[in-house]
Chains A and B, each alone.
Chain A
Amino acid sequence: MNRKMNIIVLAKQVPNTTKVRMDPETNNLIRDGVESIMNPYDRSALSCAIELKERYGAVVKVLSMGPDQAKDMLYEALSAGADEACLLSDRVFAGSDTLATSYTLSAGIRYLGIPDLVICGRQAIDGDTAQVPEEIMMHLGLACATNICSVEAVEFDGAAGAGGSPEENGAGGIPKRIRLTKTSDYGELVMEMDLPGIMTVDRGCFPAVVPVISEVIAAIDKPLRVLRRGDLEAEDARLSRKGSPTRVVRVFAPEQKKAARIVRGTPEEQAAAILEAVRERMGK
């Protein structure tokens, strides 16, 4: 068999929110002078895909929706080891909420062909909604697992161990069931998922791929497609503002939490001050 595992990574270009300030009067984000970066969670998703590619052999495609300048981010993904990239870019897509975004991305995934696995970052650092992956699950009817920190294939399709190099068809065929570890506040959750499926990863679990210069140069010649509205099979009523039931009513800066108080002095003085503070609080 010649088919390889297919993976689609979803990536979003976001403003570097660590550098975004808020206008104190309008409460809008000041994005001027702030660079655009690949959402760090998506970078982790890409690294996860590259890890699977190295282990099982896979074709990794990166899909994004955004303005033309997001191409630079896609080239970065190609330099890190992705094989193809695709940008959904059309004015018609502007103003999408998470539902319309997930619908459009699902149409993009259909265009590329439903893969064995879709990998996304858990959330984007600008919107922080963490809704898009689960909505894609719904649109495409895939299995879904969230906040994954490690992946391992446990069952393979096709010629498991029967000929073909790992380069050609992976270590033992195409993964058909994967074992996933999810980290939560309560411990680790190990689960298995039949493919095709979609999963989200946490940031930091899969370290960023640092490309060598020869890969940076080679990436510019890898395939990068830009898809417009006309390329997608989709209903107009479910795209952009029309397909977006969410309305932003108000944006406001979070209330400053009370700052910590630092207790100084000798150990005795510090202990006395802490005791005093506890008594004060209990008295209220």
Chain B
Amino acid sequence: MREQYDYIIVGAGAMGASTAYELAKRGAGRILLIDRSGAGSGATGQAAGLIRHHYMQREVVEMAAYSAGKLEHFEEETGYSIDYVKNRFLYIEPHPADEMRPVFEMQRALGVRTRLLTPDEMADIHPRGQMNTEGTGCGFYEEDGAYADPYKLAAAYAAGARVLGAELKTGEEFMEIIEEDGRAAGIRTNRGTYYGGTVILAAGLSMPDVISRLGLSMELIYLPLGHAVLIPDRPFEPDILTVCDASDPRSMFFIRPENGGTVLLGTDFDETPAPIRPEKYYHRYSYARLVEYFRHLTKRFPFLLGYRLKTVFAALDVRTADWNPGIGWFPGDMKGLYLMFGGSGHCFKLSPAIGRYAAEELLGETPSFDTSVFSIGRLIGKADEAGGFFRSE
């Protein structure tokens, strides 16, 4: 007799695990959540863990605001700690305040506690030293900015789903979808075959390959993100402000407190235009690129020059052409197949909203959020034959 589930979810990262949790919470029947390694062990576990509201699109701000509230009270709701720390958040924009005012007004109207700061107002904002505001346009300063541990979040969602009756199987490598009568009837893994009414693929770094095997043509980019841990002259308090500097789009970075009084830096590490094979990717950085970033960083925050460099590593994620994820029913002939991909780090902070609306969509309910910005349809046909984008080999 074949083992039958109602929902099979491949990938226990932020998106897959939150969806499993939300489905289980709604009593959605037999749920199976599988992961190649363990919950949060893929791209989610390497995300920066920043919690902010600052997005340009109303729909995303709404989801971010809902999610920030959920993450703040996550432990009360689920009983699991995600090491949430509220420390406020400054997002530096290259454009001046008057140009950014509509975005600011939109965020305020949605209830986000944010302030628009001029470069002069930002100069003294960091408690550890002066900021050189050259080249900045304005800053969005959020009272409810925070950070948490993305690995713990995925693990907590998976554990929470289990408590509510879902099954979690780890060490299961997804191989293929079983198609029967035009439906996704189940999956085959390295360990076995599982049948289910609906298959949800949220397999993180494997999704570009999965999507190309499904015959969908779209631009998906592997995104290397550089992280560094610094040891400051005296320990950073956990609630020292997070600053995310997007004033130079070629060299974005963030700086926030990390465990043990250290400092976590993150940068866009998009230096490799060649397609990356994720299984061959190793966490390397080029020294020249590292220096370029540190020059940029220390120009903004000269006090960092005296901090010690403890470690450097590069994380890998997948992003879409417009940096928003793709979430929804497979837009092809196969029924019963739901896709979640292109998290690019944003899906950690959005996962409470994403898990909720995915569960609602899967159950045929009206989603609580306007999800058109994440529709898969918008991405189709955006493939670029020039290098730089993923091609399955």
Residues in chain A within 8 A of chain B (CB atoms): 32-36, 69, 71-72, 75-76, 79, 210-214, 216-217, 219-220
Contact = CB atoms under 8 A, between A and B. Distances in A.
A72 B291 contact: no
A91 B85 CA distance: 52
Contacts of A34: 282
Contacts of B282: 32-36
B280 A217 contact: no
Given A213-B230, A217-B291, 18 more contacts: A33-B281, A33-B282, A35-B283, A36-B282, A69-B284, A72-B285, A72-B287, A75-B287, A210-B310, A212-B306, A212-B309, A213-B297, A213-B298, A213-B306, A213-B308, A219-B291, A220-B288, A220-B291
Contact of A214 (B230, B284, B290, B305): B305
Interface in B253-310: 279-288, 290-291, 294-295, 297-298, 304-310
Contacts of B283: 35
Nearest to A15: B282
Nearest to B289: A72
Contact of B294 (A36, A69, A217): A217
B300 to A, nearest CB: 12
A214 B209 CA distance: 41
Given A210-B231, A217-B298, A32 B280 contact: yes
Interface of B: 230-231, 279-288, 290-291, 294-295, 297-298, 304-310, 313
30 contacts: A32-B279, A32-B280, A33-B280, A35-B283, A35-B284, A35-B313, A69-B284, A71-B287, A72-B286, A79-B309, A210-B308, A210-B310, A211-B308, A212-B305, A212-B306, A212-B307, A212-B308, A213-B230, A213-B304, A213-B306, A213-B309, A214-B298, A216-B290, A216-B291, A216-B309, A217-B291, A217-B295, A217-B298, A217-B305, A219-B291
Contacts of A69: 284
Nearest to A220: B291
A69 B290 CA distance: 14
A272 B283 CA distance: 51
B197 to A, nearest CB: 35
A75 to B, nearest CB: 4
A79 B308 CA distance: 11
The list of the 8 closest CB pairs from A to B, nearest first, reads A75-B287, A214-B305, A72-B287, A210-B308, A220-B291, A35-B282, A32-B280, A35-B283
Contacts of B281: 33
A33 to B, nearest CB: 5
Contacts of B298: 213-214, 217
A33 B314 CA distance: 12
A217 B285 CA distance: 15
Nearest to A218: B291
B287 A213 contact: no
Contacts of A211: 308-309
Nearest to B308: A210
Nearest to A72: B287
Nearest to A32: B280
Contacts of B231: 210
A75 B309 CA distance: 14
A213 B279 contact: no
A211 B64 CA distance: 38
Nearest to B285: A72
Contacts of B306: 212-214
A36 B314 CA distance: 12
B243 to A, nearest CB: 16
Contact of A220 (B280, B287, B308): B287
A86 B280 CA distance: 28
Contacts of A210: 231, 308-310
Given A32-B279, A33-B279, A220-B291, A213 B284 contact: no
Contacts of A75: 287
Nearest to A215: B309
